[in-house]
């Protein structure tokens, strides 16, 4: 948590990815930091939507700054 790095997790259905990372996310929030949670489909759609007007870089920067974080 102290390194504040992004984590991408991929794996087959039923391997408890969501369970583990919801628990990790809860710890991060309790430590006073922000968590952004994106499904791959949603993140892809966000990237495609902003690719058309070449604003992908701004959107990614906004995500990394936390304006889309929960």
Structure confidence by residue, pLDDT tens digits, 15-46: 998 899 899 989 989 999 888 887 878 888 88
Q: What one-character DSSP code corresponds to residue 16?
A: S
Give CA–CA dist 47/54, Å, rounded: 10
Q: What angle do CA 36, 33, 70 make, to 5 degrees?
A: 35
- Strands annotated E in the chain: none
- The pLDDT tens digits for 46-67 are 888 877 777 877 877 877 776 5
Residue 15, CA distances (Å) to 10, 45, 53 in order:
10, 25, 37
Give CA–CA dist 27/12, Å, rounded: 24
């Amino acid at each position: 948590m102290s390194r504040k790095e992004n984590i991408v997790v991929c794996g087959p259905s039923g391997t408890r990815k969501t369970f583990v990372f919801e628990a990790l996310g809860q710890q991060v929030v309790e430590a006073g930091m922000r968590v952004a949670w994106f499904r791959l489909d949603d993140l892809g759609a966000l990237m495609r939507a902003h690719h058309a007007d070449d604003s992908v870089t701004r959107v990614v920067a906004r995500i990394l700054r936390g304006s889309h974080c929960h």
